[in-house]
Every structure is written in C-alpha cells, then in structure tokens.
Structure 1
Amino acid sequence: MNVEAPKGVLLYGPPGVGKTQLVKVISEHCHAKLTVIQGPSILGPYLGDSELRLRERFASAYSADGPSILFIDEIDSLAPTRTSGGNPRLVAQLLTLMDGLHGRGRLIVIGATNRPNALDPALRRPGRFDREISIDVPDQRDRSRILQYYLSRMPCALDVDQLAASTVGYVGADLAALCREAALLAVGKGTVTMAEFSMAMRSMTASTRRGLGVDVADTKWEDVGGLDDVKQQLKQAVEWPVRYAETMQRLGVRPPRGILLYGPPGCSKTTLVRVLATQMGSTFISINGAALYSPFVGDSERALRDVFRRARSARPAIVFFDEIDAIVGKRMAESRGDTVQERILSTMLNEMDGVQCMDGVMVVAATNRIDMIDGALLRPGRFDKIIYVGVPDFAARREILGGVEWLAGETEGYSGADLKNLVREASLLALREDLVGGVVGTEHYRKALQVVQPSLKSELMEYYTRMRAEYG
C-alpha cells in the first residue's frame, strides 16, 4: 500500500485517565522495548545539558534490536510553546531528532500531556506527531468495568452500576483510590458496602473537577423563593433533554446549546444556576473576567479553550459565565477586532459552535445588561434560550420571608438580595438587645425597613421593561 507508519503519536487527556498505563500495555503487546522519559527529568542545570540528555535517550531507544517505543511523559514541560518562556534550544533539538528518524515502524515516539494547547505547535505538524489521540474520562459503562476490576479483589455487597452512576468525573486513578479508601473504612467489618463508598466520596474530589468546579452540594430549588416560572423553564431546557432524551429525539426537539439569564442585580440568577448544577449532578464551572484576562497575547483565549476542554472532560458540566457582558461585550463598529475582549468573543463563538459535539456540556450566562451582549451570541445555535429573572412578586417575597405576609406587603420592589439584607439587619437589631436569647420580632423588622431600602430604582426597572419588550 506504500503507507508510512507515523513517527509520533500524541496522547492527551486529564491526569489519571491511563495514558501511561496504555503505553505500557501497547509495548508489552508488541514486544517492543520501552524507553520512558519523564519530561522534567530531562531538564539540566547547565547550558546544553538538557539537549545532551535528550539525544542520549533517543540514541538508546533507536539502538534497540527490535521494535522500540520512546515514551515522553509530560511532554509539554519539555517542549512548551516558545513564547511561554521555555527552553527554545531544547524544543529545537526535539524537532531535529523527530525529523531525523528514519525507517518508520522501527521506532515510534509517543508523547503524553494534560495540556495539548501548551505544546509547541511545530511538534504537532505532519511528519512529527502525526496522530493525536484523546483519552477521555471514562463514561458510566467504562467506570462500571473499572470498578468491577478493583472490586473483584475485595468482599463487597453493593450495586456496581449504582456506584458507577454516582462517580461522574472520576478517572481510573480516582476509582482506584476510591476503592482503597472504602476498603480501609471497612476494615473490621468484613464487607465493603455502599456506605463506605459514600463516606470515601465525601473525602475526595474527582480529578477532573479539582481546582475547577464550585461547591454547590447544599444548594436546592427550595433555597430560591418564588420564580416558579423561571425554575420550570430551566428544568425544561436542561433536565428534560437528559431524562427524556429518546422522546425529544423522536419528536425532533433539539435542546438549547446555551441559556442566558438576564434581569436586575440581586435576583438569584447565580443561585439558580448553582441549583441547576446540583439537581443535574453536574460539575459547576464558574468563569469571571478577572480569572480569564491576561496581559499576554493569546493567554486569555487559551484559558477559555482550556475551560471548555476541561468541561468536556468533567461532563456532565455547566459552564457559567457570570456578568458575561464584562467578559465578551458588544463589538464596536470602528473596532479592528484585535482587542482582548474581541479575541475572547471570537474564541467563545467557536467553542459554542462546537457544543454540538459536546453532549453533556451546557453553557449558561448571566447579565444585568443584555443590551451590551454582542448579537452574534444571541442568535439561534448559541444562546438559544433567553430567560428574564425579575424581582420577586408578593407570593415570592412571602415565601422568601418565611410566610410573614405583612412584611411581604411592605417590601414591594425589593430584590432577593435586599430581602436578605433586611433579615440580616433585623437579626442584628435583636442581637444588640440580647446577646444570649435574642429573638427577632415585628419591631425589629419595622426598624430594619427604615434602614434597608430597595436597591432597584424606578429608572432601572423601566430599563428592564424595555429590555423585556425587545428580548422577551
């Protein structure tokens, strides 16, 4: 067929998914000599040391009598992008060594990384790392098989499928650690049960969620008073596509790719999204401008792409952009498209267009200024669902205030945040009177009403009336 074997293969995926183990199994299956390079171990203290060590490892792997595999783990630490402050000589040396490989099929170089976008682009062109393979986080079926492997070594009494369903986002290494922890908790009992696994899960976080998600474990629908219509719309947009997927597919109903919540500040937009993540058992990834923006060209876009990549790894996941108008505002007519904000907008548009192959990832955003959102984000196929989250009405205020009707009647125009401040002020007044047995009474609420005024002025509410007429 005159088809050449690839010189290099790049494996990428989150830590703990089994990239290194996969290479070891392949080398054993092919009876190939395996030479392992830990990326950081190549780096030397003196000029030229790193390049010399790299040449020696390549020479050792290439001199094998039979087939040989050279495995470079954490290759991004050895050959990062040359604009990121890495060692350009070492990157150039690796490129030269890859280009100098002859007799394809005799030696193959396999690289592994958790951050493919941090790798120098020159390595990823044809003729070097010809193949790129994503090693994804195991789905429920794969988690069940991994758990069965580890549980076969210990006496247990539990439903493996149920355990697999409750370990969303866990990679192979996490599942191994989870089984070890559960077994330790069961010492003296003789049998590992679901109770031990539940305790073990409370003490550890899935690798894909570590340092990324926000804890929403204690947030429930009941924590948000009123807003019944908004809650129902969110359930229809997010829960129904999961629970009734077959029916929706049969009827040709496509779930929204993105949801935009807009409305006055302090009306529980962020809390609603956190509740949604809790009810779906999803990873909740909250993004704000301060965490995204960087003074270095290209870093902000790279960070945004990394957020979406990690969301795909931790799915089901909800990516939440709070105050999205401050992150990707409206483009100006005279702009040349080279500002950081516009480059982030372009990246976000590309990522959202890719959500069709990102089953299990929902993009949700919140804003107080919907008129400052670029129109490209509001077209169908991106933020398909736009939901207004307004100030609580009388029934909602009564629910938020624990059924105190007279107080609900006195707080017309108060937002949820205003009501929270009102209750806090009344509690402080009661505390000042009695530090030990203080009880909040009617007189405390009446005094608090004189201090805490509604933060939403009439001009602002007129603005939202206009926005509702335009956006629904």
Structure 2
Amino acid sequence: MVSSFLLQLDGLEVVDQPVLVIGATSSPSSLDPSLRRFGRFDREVDLGVPDEAGRLDILRIHTRKMHLTKDVSLEDIAKETHGFVGADISQLTLEAALQAIRDSGVEATERSSSGVVVSAAHFQSALKACHPSSLREMVVQVPNVTWETIGGLQHVKMELQELVQFPVEHPEKYEAFGMEPSRGVLFYGPPGCGKTLMAKAVANECQSNFISVKGPELLNAYFGESEANVRMVFERARAAAPCVLFFDELDSIAVMRGQGKDSHGAMDRVINQLLTEIDGVGKRKNVFVIGATNRPDIIDTALMRPGRLDQLIYIPMPDLGSRLAILQAAFKRAALASDIDLPYLAECLDGYTGADITEICQRAAKLAIKQNIGEEVAKRKGDFDGEPVQQILALHLESAVRTSRKSVSEEDLAMYQSFAAKMRKMQEETALGASASPITRFSFKNKGK
C-alpha cells in the first residue's frame, strides 16, 4: 500500500497541471519515514492545541448566539480549559446550554435553547463532564487532593511549590528574571510514604492536567513498540499543557544502561527515547515530569543530569508530627471515642509508613462498622438492648494496631537514608565546587576595599 502510494505521489512531478497533496495525521511519528522525505510530504505544519488566547477566541465564536449571565467570564473559562481543542470547546458550550435547558424545565429543542440563559454554574457543571480529547484515552481522574489532604511533609511541599507551582502560576516572572524553570523532579524513598499522592496534589494545586503512567505499562514485547509508547505519552502531555506527567515505578524502565536482562538492548532503547523526550519538552511547552521510584540506586544517572530530572526529593518516613497529621487526616470525617489519644498513638507508630498508618485507621473503622451492624441485627432480634456503637472505640484501634505490621524493614530504611545522605553531599559539592569553600562575608559594598 505504501509503495503504491509513493509511486503515485512521485508521478505527480510529470503532470502538466500542478497538484498539491495535503495529508493530515494526529500521530506523525507513526508514519512511514519515506513519506516525510524531500519531494513528498516535506513541509509539516503543526496545528497544535490552542493556547489561552486561542481558546478565548473559540469560546467567543461558540457563545455569540447564547444568552449569558453577567457572572460568566469567558476569560476564566479559557484559563480552566487547558488541553481543549476546538471540538472540545464546542462540546463544552453545548453541554453548558443543555444543562441550562434541564434547569429551566423546557424541552431541549433548537428553538427553546436560543432563549435559555446560561450561567457560570452551568459552565462549571459542563467542565466536570467534558475532558480534553487529547487525554481521553489516558486521563486520570485526580481526586480532590490538596496540600492539606496530605499529612506532614511540610519541607517537601514547600520545595515542590517552588519547583512546580511557581513556574506554572507565575511564568512571566521567570521570563522577566531570565530563569528557565526545572523540567522535572525525581521522588524517591520507601514505598507507602506518599509519592503518588504528592504528585496528584501538585497537579491539583497548579490547576494542571495530570497524566499518570506506570513504567511497566509502557513495555511491549514487539520491537520498537515500547519506544513508541514513550513518544505517545509525551505527545499527549505536550498537547495537554500545562500538564504534570507522572511516571510511577520509574525504575522498571530506567535501569542503568547495559545492566538490563534483555539480550537485544530493548531497555536501553527505552531509556534513550525517554531522555530524548525529556530534552525535547522545552520551557515553552509547560510540561513538568515527575518520576517516582523505590530503587533510586539503579536509576540511570543520565536521567538525573541537569535539565532532566535534576531535582531529587527524598520522601522520608513520617516523623512524629507527620504521623499525627496523617491520623488526623484519616479520621477527619470519623467519629472517635473521647478516650482515644491520637498524639500517643502517633508516638507508638514510629517506623510505620503513611500507607501503613492509613491501613490501621481503615481497619479500625471496619471493625467499628462490623460491630455496629452486628448490634443492630441483634437488637432487632431482641438479643441486644443497648444502643449500637456509633463511634470508633479505643478497642477497635488497639486491635487494628496489634494486627498491623511495618512494610519497610530496618535494612531497607538504612539503604534509603544512606542514598539520601549521599545525594545531599553530592549536591553540596556541586554547588560549592570540588575544592571551593563558601564566601561567608560576601557583599557588593566591599567592592574596591
């Protein structure tokens, strides 16, 4: 098929009348390379996703015949529709109009829709139902995760605000000061300490699209398919910018080159493709890459060089304050008995990860629910004359703690702490120079003295 098409395409050169052939594709990387050679489809025009100004123009076109209330701000809607193309915006305005028709109680006809008034609430409802088509196959429904939702880790939150949130919310300031924001960050630390939840909170706080990919999902047994999957993920992230692209279990696809178990170098090709894509993100694409791993010691060092995932953030085991914050967040909507002492419980859970503590809280709640149901059934049968339990009691938590176990061993924890100390030392040496010492009394006022 391709050969026949190329033969006909090359034959156009001898035709008396000029013929212009235009092709369209949403995935240029999947085309046969021979189609993109000189003399064929050698001119490529990227019709990308519209920016905020483009989305505003499209919104004005699709709403010019609609009756909008004064609280509708098309500028705000344009800011909230990251990654939307023209068809997505058309669907959004239609959904808002349909929502207005439903609220008005009239039949959804073309005649009735012309007289319906659409409010900001209708657009907000439509935004929840409509998603960018570029993300439709792999969009992640991020829960309402905020910084407050995550217990503890205050220093990590502050560092992430500087690395991710500031460049997204204040790009003009970085441009004014001539600074290029970091392109990526690598979370590492024991499993169950909130790496994935932290990435979701970053996207939520930045009002960015969020794509989450587990490393093994990209691997394919067929030659070249794994690299193609990596390219596809980055293409979708660039189309949905601003976007946070999260790679979970990064160690499954980014092990040090030359140490892969495959005999054909497939893993090395995946790493090379990953490096190429990260280098090609560019500051104007507004895509931030976050990797997460439990094995930072086996990650290819090229991935952590400047301009890539050059910011390494250790997500440690929760300290006393963090454990208490996790308990308070887990029991935020639960009724607790007055004799439950959460600060004391937090002290007793030293060495437990955030996931371990959350599991204990859920297990205690399940025990309370089980007791409540059992007592209600017994009361209906006349075998119980008291009131069914309506709270999580101390005995429920005591039972949950006794049956729990730590998911991170002392040996594993020592390995993480050793790697974190090593990385801190390397960063300090890089900042100061191999044999340099900090200038503790530097001041421009000393010039000429």
Q: Using structure 1 for the length normalisation, give the TM-score.
A: 0.77
Given the alignment, which residue of 141, 156, 173 partners 2:68? Answer: 156
Distance 1:395 1:334, change over 3 A: closer
Equivalent residue letter for 1:111: G
Aligned to 2:445: none
Aligned to 2:275: 349
3-state DSSP class of the match of 2:21?
strand
Which deviations, in whole Å up to 9, do the C-alpha atoms of 1:253-286 show, x marking residues without a partner?
A: 3321110000000000000001111111222111
Counterpart contact for 1:337–1:343, Cα < 8 Å: no
> Is 1:453 matched up with 2:391?
no
**1:368-383, aligned counterparts within 5 Å?**
368-383=294-309
* Displacement after TM superposition at 1:164 (Å): 1.1
> Is 1:211 matched up with 2:157?
no
Given the alignment, which residue of 65, 72, 96 partners 2:7? Answer: 96
Counterpart contact for 1:262–1:366, Cα < 8 Å: yes
Aligned to 1:442: 394
Aligned to 1:294: 220
CA distance in structure 1 between the partners assigned to 2:419 and 2:277 by the alignment: 27
Aligned to 1:320: 246
CA distance in structure 1 between the partners assigned to 2:57 and 2:308 by the alignment: 36
CA distance in structure 2 between the partners assigned to 1:147 and 1:298 by the alignment: 40
Q: Which moved more, 1:249-258 or 1:338-347?
A: 249-258
Which deviations, in whole Å up to 9, do the C-alpha atoms of 1:42-68 show, x marking residues without a partner?
A: xxxxxxxxxxxxxxxxxxxxxxxxxxx
Aligned to 1:141: 53
CA distance in structure 1 between the partners assigned to 2:265 and 2:90 by the alignment: 46
> Is 1:106 matched up with 2:18?
yes
Given the alignment, which residue of 138, 152, 157 partners 1:231? Answer: 157
3-state DSSP class of the match of 1:265?
coil
Distance 1:228 1:117, change over 3 A: same
Given the alignment, which residue of 366, 377, 386 partners 1:428? Answer: 366
Counterpart contact for 2:180–2:283, Cα < 8 Å: no
Counterpart contact for 1:262–1:388, Cα < 8 Å: yes
Aligned to 2:422: 470
CA distance in structure 1 between the partners assigned to 2:221 and 2:366 by the alignment: 44
CA distance in structure 1 between the partners assigned to 2:96 and 2:404 by the alignment: 50
Given the alignment, which residue of 247, 268, 271 partners 2:173? Answer: 247
Equivalent residue letter for 1:414: Y
CA RMSD in angstroms comes to 2.0
* Displacement after TM superposition at 1:247 (Å): 3.0
Equivalent residue letter for 1:94: F
3-state DSSP class of the match of 1:108?
coil
Aligned to 1:415: 353
Distance 1:105 1:283, change over 3 A: farther
Which deviations, in whole Å up to 9, do the C-alpha atoms of 1:438-468 show, x marking residues without a partner?
A: 4211122122221102222211111112111
CA distance in structure 2 between the partners assigned to 1:247 and 1:204 by the alignment: 32
Question: Any runs of at least 4 consecutive aligned residues in structure 1 with deviations exceeding 4 A, and if so which?
Answer: 333-338
Which deviations, in whole Å up to 9, do the C-alpha atoms of 1:169-223 show, x marking residues without a partner?
A: 1110111121122222223473212111111222222212211221114222222
Equivalent residue letter for 2:191: P
Given the alignment, which residue of 272, 277, 280 partners 2:203? Answer: 277
Q: Using structure 2 for the length normalisation, give the TM-score.
A: 0.81
Counterpart contact for 2:216–2:252, Cα < 8 Å: no
3-state DSSP class of the match of 1:223?
coil
Counterpart contact for 1:426–1:440, Cα < 8 Å: yes
3-state DSSP class of the match of 1:320?
strand
Q: Which runs of 5+ in 2 are unaligned?
A: 105-114, 329-340, 377-387, 425-449
Counterpart contact for 1:312–1:358, Cα < 8 Å: no
* Displacement after TM superposition at 1:407 (Å): 0.6
3-state DSSP class of the match of 2:43?
strand
**1:40-189, aligned counterparts within 5 Å?**
90-102=1-13, 103=15, 106-157=18-69, 158-187=72-101, 188=104
Given the alignment, which residue of 339, 342, 361 partners 1:404? Answer: 342
Aligned to 1:257: 183
Q: Which has the higher strand share?
A: 1
Distance 1:334 1:432, change over 3 A: closer
3-state DSSP class of the match of 1:452?
coil
* Displacement after TM superposition at 1:405 (Å): 0.7
3-state DSSP class of the match of 1:390?
coil
3-state DSSP class of the match of 1:377?
helix
Which deviations, in whole Å up to 9, do the C-alpha atoms of 1:210-239 show, x marking residues without a partner?
A: 112211142222221000100111111001
Equivalent residue letter for 2:367: L
Aligned to 1:5: none
Distance 1:334 1:340, change over 3 A: closer
Q: Which moved more, 1:397-406 or 1:408-417?
A: 397-406
Aligned to 1:25: none
CA distance in structure 2 between the partners assigned to 1:227 and 1:335 by the alignment: 36
Equivalent residue letter for 2:38: P
Percent sequence identity is 38
Q: Which moved more, 1:332-341 or 1:273-282?
A: 332-341
Counterpart contact for 2:146–2:201, Cα < 8 Å: yes
Distance 1:334 1:460, change over 3 A: closer
Number of aligned pairs? 383
CA distance in structure 1 between the partners assigned to 2:400 and 2:260 by the alignment: 50
> Is 1:200 matched up with 2:126?
yes
* Displacement after TM superposition at 1:357 (Å): 5.1
3-state DSSP class of the match of 1:284?
strand
Equivalent residue letter for 1:304: V
Which deviations, in whole Å up to 9, do the C-alpha atoms of 1:101-149 show, x marking residues without a partner?
A: 0358721111111121221111111111121111101111001001111
Aligned to 1:4: none
* Displacement after TM superposition at 1:246 (Å): 3.2
Aligned to 2:111: none
* Displacement after TM superposition at 1:338 (Å): 4.2
> Is 1:365 matched up with 2:291?
yes
CA distance in structure 1 between the partners assigned to 2:17 and 2:205 by the alignment: 50
Equivalent residue letter for 1:432: K
3-state DSSP class of the match of 2:280?
helix
Counterpart contact for 1:418–1:455, Cα < 8 Å: yes
